[in-house]
Amino acid sequence: MPTPSRTSLDRIVRAGRTILDTEGLDSLTMQRVAVVVGVRAPSLYKHVRDRAELVRLIAGDVERELGAAMDAAATTGDPRGDLHAIAHAFRAYALAHPGAYALLFARLPDAWRLDPDPGSRTFDSLFRTVAALSGPEHVLEAARTVVAWASGFVGMELAGAFRLGGDIDAAFAYGVERIADAIGTGARQAAGPPP
Amino acid sequence: MPTPSRTSLDRIVRAGRTILDTEGLDSLTMQRVAVVVGVRAPSLYKHVRDRAELVRLIAGDVERELGAAMDAAATTGDPRGDLHAIAHAFRAYALAHPGAYALLFARLPDAWRLDPDPGSRTFDSLFRTVAALSGPEHVLEAARTVVAWASGFVGMELAGAFRLGGDIDAAFAYGVERIADAIGTGARQAAGPPP
DNA sequence: ACCTGAACACCGTTCAAGT
DNA sequence: ACCTGAACACCGTTCAAGT
């Protein structure tokens, strides 16, 4: 007689996510997940191909969460205000869920990487906001400049790389303003005729 | 009779660095290092406290190398040209030595982190160049904006996070120009009286 | 159909024993 | 003083055997 499942993919992914958030990626082992869901490690392989697939499933959830947090922030009605709000939401998410955040922006083994999803809407509100500031021509470059700066800032903050002290919150606020100026300026220069 | 050392700290660090560059951090194990230097893994503990210390020693070398590469690039005589050259040298180093680069800018276990070194001159030429563009008042914030952007850009590139295609070299060049505008603009605004 | 213990090939690290 | 094999506590993963 077939035995009913004692666990499920959903419970496994949620258990993994909890361990990731509380103890970090190194502690997210098959054995720890197995203990949480109440089976032995080998049983997990009936639900998930291997550890890399589990990490990818969790990363997908994280990507949707981060996207929703940024969407929810972009409500000031003013592009510059929205950019500030989105950047702030991005940083707040990363600081609140550093382990989860690392799944999206840290360099991980190729097998752990999220499959490129052309339908991903993660950065939609950011793209719209950037387009309003930069004009349509250089949206992609401008958006990449914003995301590169924000992810670099947060990455250094999480890595403890700001070793010269100073006010980190103020440095972030300074950065948003300068970046907002920059992508606006860049668009105006690019749109005009060459001198 | 005391046995003379069959290996040395220097050879161990160099072996570790070679493995890191060719196969990545995950392959930098005590056992692999031991094979390269020609002893058994337990013998390494006579020269190095643990794996974390070995990683920190390698990270120190890497930091000096990266600093030297940026110093060597800052020779155009023009601050804006120097900024471009330093940013390019930073990216080139990271792409050529992704494993080594990750030791400085990836989120790693605390024990692997380089001790803060107040005497570190790694970013000296960048600071001088940024100061020439931003004025003295906001050098720290401006330099952090540059490093955050550059490390974020390179981190996303190495992580395969630029999933929308496009010309990555062009996006980097676009970014340097916008950032150079940004920190100059910011300094002028900050220096003037409030409106 | 699912779960299990046992096994295999790895880790980092400690330690008593050899030279 | 240095190096060694053996041991311990972990990994991920496979697989035959149980229900």
pLDDT at A51 over 60: yes
Quote the pLDDT of residue A112. Answer: 83
Burial of B44 per CB tally in 10 Å (0-12, 13-18, 19+): buried
Interatomic CA distance for residues A64 and A13, integer angstroms: 14
Angle (CA) B142 B145 B149, round 5° = 150
**A25 and A68 together in one domain:** no
**B7 and B34 together in one domain:** yes
Domain-located, residue A57:
no
Local confidence band at B191 (pLDDT 50, 70, 90 cut-offs):
very low
Cβ neighbours of A36 (radius 10 Å): 15
Interatomic CA distance for residues A157 and A151, integer angstroms: 10
pLDDT at A111 over 50: yes
Quote the pLDDT of residue B2. Answer: 63
Tell me what the mean pLDDT of segment B1-29 comes to: 90
**What positions of strand C are covered by protein, i.e. any atom < 7 Å from a CB?**
1-6, 10-16, 18-19
Residue B75 is part of a domain; what is its CATH number? 1.10.357.10
Task: Test A147 with B152 for CB contact under 8 angstroms.
Answer: yes
pLDDT tens, residue by residue, A19-36? 999 999 999 999 999 999
Interatomic CA distance for residues A104 and B30, integer angstroms: 29
Domain-located, residue A3:
yes
Residue A28 is part of a domain; what is its CATH number? 1.10.10.60
Q: Tell me the nt nearest to B111, Cα to C1'.
A: C12
Domain with A77, as residue range(s), is 62-191
Which residue's CA is nearest to the C1' of nucleotide D4?
B40
**Per-residue tokens: B167:** 């010309």
Which of B149, B161, B181 shows the shortest C-beta gap to A149?
A: B149
Task: Test B151 with A147 for CB contact under 8 angstroms.
Answer: no
Q: A34 CA to chain B: closest CA distance, Å?
A: 24
Shortest CA distance from A177: residue in chain B: B186
Percent of chain A with pLDDT over 70: 92
Domain-located, residue B182:
yes
Interatomic CA distance for residues B159 and B157, integer angstroms: 5
CA of A26 to C1' of C15 (A): 27
Quote the pLDDT of residue B110. Answer: 77
**A79 and A151 together in one domain:** yes
Q: Tell me the nt nearest to B29, Cα to C1'.
A: C11
pLDDT tens, residue by residue, B84-135? 999 999 999 999 999 999 999 887 777 888 777 777 889 999 999 999 999 8
pLDDT tens, residue by residue, B18-76? 999 999 999 999 999 999 999 999 999 999 999 999 999 999 999 999 999 999 999 99
pLDDT tens, residue by residue, B157-188? 998 888 888 899 999 999 999 999 888 854 44
**B159 and B128 together in one domain:** yes
Question: Which residues from A are below 8 Å from B166, CB to CB?
Answer: 140-141
**B97 and B186 together in one domain:** yes
Local confidence band at A185 (pLDDT 50, 70, 90 cut-offs):
low
- Residues of A numbered 18-57 whose beta carbons fall under 8 angstroms of chain B's beta carbons: which are they? 26
**B175 and B103 together in one domain:** yes
B69 SS3 class? helix
**B33 and B92 together in one domain:** no
**A74 and A104 together in one domain:** yes
**A87 and A27 together in one domain:** no
